[in-house]
Amino acid sequence: MEKKVILSGMRPTGRLHVGHYVGALENWIALQNDYRNYHLIADYHVLTTNLDTSSIYQDSLEMLIDWLAAGLDPEKSPMFRQSQVKEHCELQLIFSMLITVNRLERNPTLKDQIRDLEIENLVYGHLGYPVLQSADILLYKGQVVPVGEDQVPHIEITRELARRFNHTYGQVFPEPEPLLTKTPRLIGLDGNAKMSKSLGNTIFLSDTKEEIKLKLRKAVTDTQKLRKGDPGRPEVCVVFSYHQKFNPDEVLEISRDCSTGKLGCVDCKLKCTGKIDSFLKPIYEKRKELETNNALLIEILNDGETKARGIAGDTMAQVRDAMKIG
Ligand code: TRP
């Protein structure tokens, strides 16, 4: 049976953190043998919230390094920048005629961003963010989109646009499904529901053991557990949630020893530092190698972008055909 197509992407906003890994990247890597994969560096999408383009290129390379270091294989999963495939803009324009302003204003992810970033005057392109994202997915006829849960409303819009196009002009697009990871999000070091660079509560994939140790030292635990002998409540502790992810074999013991007061936060944090460090170490080593090999990174992008242009061009030919615009 023919493999289904995965299309997923991230905005290049600098180095990735473990929240990105757990929310999406881990899934991409696990799925790369069973699907036909395409992975997009959504550099135009960065413009919706940041007009300063001076670091976009470098940030895109940093993200590519993290993807490769974490285990994404360019042979199986072509990686490319959105800005290098013009068809994204073309399809976005057509899709922008097939959805109402009202529908886009109801997007909960947009509402969250407006609140979190304190946006007073929304630009037209930001309102249209999911329209460009729909073009990203449907140009490659993506059927499965592994993303974090905040992206699910965008996939719903993608499905609506696929239906609307197919109904108006004839069948061209599939209706893609989101695919969430088992741990869709990781809590921030400060206890915030989301790990996010702008909140400064992250552990980067590129952090050293010393950096991880310092960050965990400040991480929020059970505020009622003041000293070692006090009984703790693992279920409200950020560090415990990291143990669940990075140290699954010891969670029962840690939960018991925390609850009885036998295990203090200092020791628990050191244990956790060790586990996160051994988890990240191979990524860190590979990153170091890639950082000094710019030529390889450029070759990977060139190759991915050539493949992407081929597919995107074919889809646009079908779109124009269906629309009878030659
Ligand atoms: N909106 C996604 C995010 O912020 C990034 C993205 C852009 C994307 N285009 C995409 C994700 C297409 C999946 C598919 O994480």
User: Measured between alpha carbons, how far is 109 from 265 in angstroms, rounded to an integer?
Assistant: 35
Tell me: do 242 and 131 sit in the same domain.
no
Residue 114 falls inside a structural domain: yes
With 80 as the cut, is the pLDDT of residue 89 above it? yes
User: Measured between alpha carbons, how far is 17 from 195 in angstroms, rounded to an integer?
Assistant: 8
Tell me: do 33 and 172 sit in the same domain.
yes
User: Is 205 touching ligand 1 by the criterion CB < 6 Å?
Assistant: no
Give how many domains the chain has, as a whole number: 2
Tell me: do 116 and 258 sit in the same domain.
no
Tell me: do 124 and 219 sit in the same domain.
no
User: Is 8 touching ligand 1 by the criterion CB < 6 Å?
Assistant: yes
Residue 229 sits in a domain of what CATH number?
1.10.240.10
Distances (CA, A) of 190 to 193, 203, 221, 231, 248: 9, 11, 9, 21, 22
pLDDT 10s digits, 254-278:
999 999 999 999 999 999 999 999 9
Tell me: do 72 and 171 sit in the same domain.
yes
**Ligand 1 center to residue 152 CA distance, Å?**
10
Tell me: do 247 and 178 sit in the same domain.
no
Tell me: do 119 and 216 sit in the same domain.
no
State the chain's mean pLDDT as an integer. Answer: 95
User: Is 137 touching ligand 1 by the criterion CB < 6 Å?
Assistant: yes
Q: What is the pLDDT of residue 321?
A: 98
Tell me: do 166 and 214 sit in the same domain.
no
With 80 as the cut, is the pLDDT of residue 183 above it? no
User: Measured between alpha carbons, how far is 206 from 17 in angstroms, rounded to an integer?
Assistant: 8
Angle at 157 between CA 37 and CA 14, to 5 degrees: 55
Q: What is the pLDDT of residue 319?
A: 98
Residue 196 falls inside a structural domain: no
Task: Give the domain extent around 133.
Answer: 5-186+294-323
Taking residue 47's Cβ as centre, other Cβ atoms within 10 Å add up to 18
**Ligand 1 center to residue 37 CA distance, Å?**
14
Residue 300 falls inside a structural domain: yes
Ligand 1, pocket-test mutation among 5, 7, 11, most atoms within 8 A of CB: 11
Tell me: do 132 and 179 sit in the same domain.
yes
pLDDT class of 150 with cuts at 50, 70, 90: confident
Residue 47 falls inside a structural domain: yes
Residue 28 sits in a domain of what CATH number?
3.40.50.620
Tell me: do 313 and 249 sit in the same domain.
no
User: Is 147 touching ligand 1 by the criterion CB < 6 Å?
Assistant: yes
Greatest mean pLDDT among 19-23, 114-118, 121-125, 184-188 lies in 121-125
Give the per-residue SS3 of the chain: CCCCEEEEEECCCCCCEHHHHHHHHHHHHHHCCCCEEEEEECHHHHCCCCCCCCCHHHHHHHHHHHHHHHCCCCCCCCEEEHHHCCHHHHHHHHHCCCCCHHHHHCCHHHHHHHHHCCCCCCCHHHHCHHHHHHHHHHHCCCCEEECCHHHHHHHHHHHHHHHHHHHHHCCCCCCCEEECCCCCCCCCCCCCCCCCHHHCCCCECCCCHHHHHHHHHCCCCCCCCCCCCCCCCHHHCHHHHHHHHHCHHHHHHHHHHHHHCCCCHHHHHHHHHHHHHHHHHHHHHHHHHHHCCHHHHHHHHHHHHHHHHHHHHHHHHHHHHHHCCC
User: Is 312 touching ligand 1 by the criterion CB < 6 Å?
Assistant: no
Q: What is the pLDDT of residue 125?
A: 97
Residue 149 falls inside a structural domain: yes
Tell me: do 142 and 19 sit in the same domain.
yes
**Ligand 1 center to residue 196 CA distance, Å?**
16
pLDDT class of 149 with cuts at 50, 70, 90: confident
Tell me: do 100 and 233 sit in the same domain.
no
Q: What is the pLDDT of residue 232?
A: 94
Please report the atom of ligand 1 found closest to the CA of residue 42: 7
Ligand 1, pocket-test mutation among 77, 136, 156, 181, most atoms within 8 A of CB: 136
pLDDT 10s digits, 271-321:
999 999 999 999 999 999 999 999 999 999 999 999 999 999 999 999 999
Decide which of 116 and 178 is more confident: 178
Residue 106 falls inside a structural domain: yes
